[in-house]
Amino acid sequence: MSMDRRSFLKGTLAVGGVAAAGALVGCSPAKQSESAAQAAADSEAADWLGSAPDVTVEECEESKQADVVIVGSALAGVLAAYAALKEGASVIVLERNGYPHISGSGIGFLNSRYQLENGQPEQNVYKIIADVFNQFQLRADISLLSLWGFHSGEILDAIEEDVLQPAGCPGNVPVQDIPADRAGQLAISENCHVDFDPEGNDSLEKFIFAFHDWIKENGGQIDVETCARKLVQAEDGTVTGLIATNAEGKYVYYEAAKGVVMCTGSYGGDERMLDAFCPDWLAKYAKTYNSYNARASETCPVTTTEKMDDGTGHKMMCWAGAVMEQIDPPVNSWFGTGYYWWPFLHVDVRGRRFMNESGSWLCTTHTLAELPDGVNYCWQIKPTNDFDMPMTVPTGIPLSAWEEVVESSHEYYEADTIKELADLIEVDKDTLVETIERYNELCVAGCDEDYGKLPKYLDPIDDPPYRAVKATINFYATANGVKCNNKLQVLDSNWDPIPGLYAAGNCVGWRMGSGYQDIVPGLCNALSLAHGYFAGKNCAA
Ligand SMILES: Cc1cc2nc3c(=O)[nH]c(=O)nc-3n(C[C@H](O)[C@H](O)[C@H](O)COP(=O)(O)OP(=O)(O)OC[C@H]3O[C@@H](n4cnc5c(N)ncnc54)[C@H](O)[C@@H]3O)c2cc1C
């Protein structure tokens, strides 16, 4: 079995750990079994890759042919199919579920004719790429970002005309008049964001199904409940097709004359992969708060019994010679209550303040996931007085939005004294009183010299009722994946293309550095869209 370097190291250390645990003098049996359990878990994580199913083309009960075979029918997959069909290729798309995965409805674009005509200003592409790259801690492949930066506008114009407007799903282009007092408060550039949910439910469902319809109307085929299991390679390593299982569990061979495009998304549903690629605290948080199916709906349910985000696609590519990005932390997430947290005081489960509540959600994720005591949530304490909520995409959030969160939460508490509140949320009374006293001092001074919270959001907590709600972060997707060049060809360990193999979307690595950004709303979608488009186009060429 092949194994990547970090997994190998983790496995080696784990084996050493078992031997050492047994040799420790005075170590309690409980401690020993804990160490052994940890070692066993590490060793399992090291085997995240496993081996490809032992099935051959000859053993398949059916075979199908197309120029381009695409795996995954969500955002990256439908853009790949669109571009390949536009190139004149024949296309089959495989989807393991009965329906595609649906994410949020916002996508970032720069300088399309459509945006400019609808009032968004022209953007400085170089500056946005540089700013985003900085937030990626200079650790992404900037050529993958540039593909989006310099070409997303022309892609939007093409799909508006071909797919979205004919389907009655044109983008909504919010134009933000960013107030002067916002300067330095939010990095987000609302004016490069297009939203595709006419009902305002933040769901990309209509957009994705507009593409499904277009693909079928234009000669493409979408095979649902069909899960790709293994790539097929010629002697020289060229990918010539794949083997999948259909709804009856039978093996089907898909022969791809021009190539295969893998658009299989995140691996957040695979615990071994999370253990292998994330630090323990992050793996724990990702397992607890995976929100992959949060946008599934009655018209678009999850019908498969397997997890859609189990990393099968990553494994298929690695079995064929691809390499995974090794980067900490490889996640993309969103704070459970969105931007609503800025005006609040956050305390950990011991009642201590631990963060700048008005900081980027980028750091909030890690701060919260990394809390001690194995806890990855905090308590959000509401200030006494009414206050302005920070404005965000597309129109700003009223205070009533927080009240809605509170009303729908089972973990909301109200009390007449801080000590009673501490009892209800099970934090140390004296610590909570001390924390709130200190916070109020900073609010009165108008200067948070402890954490640097923006003065505008420093509101004291000095009158009953005292109110607290549990705050968590949603984990949406893994951000590391396989190495690709800017033609979206999947590369091997020498960074040479594996002929006939392309990838796009969340299964592509080196696209976000160590944990996303908050400059361009919908950039994760945007990269999937642009990379899907180019992967399909290049594969079909
Ligand atoms: C609830 C939620 C909301 C989000 N909202 C936003 C947002 O507003 N803005 C933003 O930028 N990003 C958002 N994201 C991030 C989002 O994950 C990506 O932007 C987007 O979904 C990536 O698209 P994709 O096509 O790469 O992968 P996915 O959307 O994960 O789709 C992969 C598809 O491949 C299929 N598949 C997987 N393996 C196989 C296989 N072996 N055989 C056949 N089919 C397979 C899956 O069933 C799935 O349909 C959100 C994520 C979640 C979970």
Non-local CB neighbours of 235 within 8 Å, separated by 6+ positions: none
Task: Output the DSSP codes for 236-299.
Answer: TS-EEEEEEE-TTS-EEEEEEEEEEEE-----TT-HHHHHHHS-HHHHHHHHHSB-TTTT-BTT
Non-local CB neighbours of 148 within 8 Å, separated by 6+ positions: 108, 110, 523, 526, 527, 529, 530, 531
Cβ(153)–Cβ(110) below 8 Å: yes
- Give distance in angstroms: CA of 295 to centre of ligand 1: 10
Mean pLDDT on 239-250? 98
Lowest-pLDDT range of 31-45, 314-328, 335-349, 407-421: 31-45
Mean pLDDT on 153-168? 98
Mean pLDDT on 210-238? 98
Residue matched to tokens 């798309």: 93
Lowest-pLDDT range of 45-59, 391-405, 418-432: 391-405
Task: For residue 367, name the pLDDT band (cuts at 50, 70, 90).
Answer: confident
Work out the mean pLDDT of the chain and round it to a whole number.
Answer: 86
Mean pLDDT on 126-149? 92
Q: What residue's CA is closest to ligand 1, atom 47?
A: 308
- Please return the burial class of 195, using the count of CB atoms within 10 Å of its CB with bins 0-12, 13-18 and 19+: buried
Q: What residue's CA is closest to ligand 1, atom 7?
A: 104
Q: In this predicted structure, what is the pLDDT of residue 199?
A: 83
- Give distance in angstroms: CA of 308 to centre of ligand 1: 9
Mean pLDDT on 305-334? 90
Lowest-pLDDT range of 95-99, 248-252, 377-381, 530-534: 377-381
Task: For residue 384, name the pLDDT band (cuts at 50, 70, 90).
Answer: confident
Q: In this predicted structure, what is the pLDDT of residue 19?
A: 28
Lowest-pLDDT range of 23-32, 367-376, 477-486, 528-537: 23-32
Q: In this predicted structure, what is the pLDDT of residue 178?
A: 63
Mean pLDDT on 254-269? 97
Token pair for 533:
């488009």
Q: In this predicted structure, what is the pLDDT of residue 377?
A: 87
Task: For residue 401, name the pLDDT band (cuts at 50, 70, 90).
Answer: low
Q: In this predicted structure, what is the pLDDT of residue 3?
A: 34
Task: For residue 395, name the pLDDT band (cuts at 50, 70, 90).
Answer: very low
Q: Is the peptide bond before 465 cis (omega within 30 degrees of 0)?
A: yes
What residue ranges do the domains of the chain occupy? 59-267+476-540, 337-471
Token pair for 234:
């010629």
Task: For residue 469, name the pLDDT band (cuts at 50, 70, 90).
Answer: confident
Residue 25 pLDDT greater than 60, yes or no:
no
Provide the 8-state DSSP code for 163. I
Mean pLDDT on 313-325? 97
- Give distance in angstroms: CA of 68 to centre of ligand 1: 20
Residue 355 pLDDT greater than 80, yes or no:
yes
Cβ(274)–Cβ(48) below 8 Å: no
Task: For residue 183, name the pLDDT band (cuts at 50, 70, 90).
Answer: very low
Lowest-pLDDT range of 6-15, 54-63, 244-253, 382-391: 6-15
Mean pLDDT on 401-412? 73
Q: How does strand 91-94 pair with strand 489-491?
A: unpaired
Within 10 A of 177 (CB to CB), how many other CB atoms are there?
7
Report how far residue 479's alpha carbon sits from residue 333's, in angstroms, rounded to the nearest whole number: 10
Q: In this predicted structure, what is the pLDDT of residue 517?
A: 78
Mean pLDDT on 331-336? 61
Handedness of CA 261, 265, 266, 270 (dihedral sign): negative
Helices (H) and strands (E) in the chain — how many of each? Answer: 15, 16
- Give distance in angstroms: CA of 114 to centre of ligand 1: 25
Non-local CB neighbours of 60 within 8 Å, separated by 6+ positions: 243, 251, 252, 253
- Give distance in angstroms: CA of 240 to centre of ligand 1: 25
CATH code of domain 59-267+476-540: 3.50.50.60
Task: Output the DSSP codes for 382-403.
Answer: PPSS--PPPP-TTT---HHHHH
Residue 206 pLDDT greater than 80, yes or no:
yes
Ligand 1 nearest atom to the CA of residue 101, by list position: 49
* Angstrom distances, CA of residue 142 to CA of 47, 204, 536: 31, 27, 20
Q: What residue's CA is closest to ligand 1, atom 14?
A: 103
Q: In this predicted structure, what is the pLDDT of residue 388?
A: 62
Report how far residue 204's alpha carbon sits from residue 221's, in angstroms, rounded to the nearest whole number: 21
Non-local CB neighbours of 294 within 8 Å, separated by 6+ positions: 474
Which tops the pLDDT comparison, 406 or 437? 437
Report how far residue 365's alpha carbon sits from residue 135's, in angstroms, rounded to the nearest whole number: 14
Mean pLDDT on 124-131? 92
Ligand 1 proximal residues by C-beta, below 6 Å: 71-77, 94-97, 100-101, 103-104, 106, 227-228, 263-266, 291-292, 294-295, 308-309, 312-313, 476-477, 505-506, 522-525, 528
Non-local CB neighbours of 212 within 8 Å, separated by 6+ positions: 73, 78, 100, 222
Do you know the residue count of the chain?
A: 541
State the amino acid at position 443 in one-letter form.
C
Torsional class of 60: left (φ above 0), alpha (ψ -120 to 50), beta (otherwise):
beta
Cα angle: 49, vertex 101, 244; to 5 degrees? 50
Torsional class of 119: left (φ above 0), alpha (ψ -120 to 50), beta (otherwise):
left
Report how far residue 335's alpha carbon sits from residue 341's, in angstroms, rounded to the nearest whole number: 9
Fold match, 59-267+476-540 / 337-471? no
Q: In this predicted structure, what is the pLDDT of residue 21?
A: 28
SS (H, E, C) 469-497: EEECEEEEEECCCECECCCCEEECCCCCE
Mean pLDDT on 105-131? 94
Which tops the pLDDT comparison, 340 or 172? 172
Give CA 24 to chain center in angstroms. Answer: 42
Cβ(477)–Cβ(292) below 8 Å: yes
Residue 169 pLDDT greater than 60, yes or no:
yes
- Give distance in angstroms: CA of 424 to centre of ligand 1: 38
Residue 163 pLDDT greater than 80, yes or no:
yes
3-state secondary structure of 539: helix
Provide the 8-state DSSP code for 456. G
Residue 258 pLDDT greater than 80, yes or no:
yes
First to last CA, the chain: 34
The fold of the 337-471 domain, in CATH, is Flavocytochrome C3; Chain A, domain 1 (3.90.700)
Residue 404 pLDDT greater than 90, yes or no:
no
Mean pLDDT on 47-75? 97
Residue 434 pLDDT greater than 70, yes or no:
yes
Residue 482 pLDDT greater than 60, yes or no:
yes
Residue 17 pLDDT greater than 60, yes or no:
no
Q: In this predicted structure, what is the pLDDT of residue 48?
A: 95
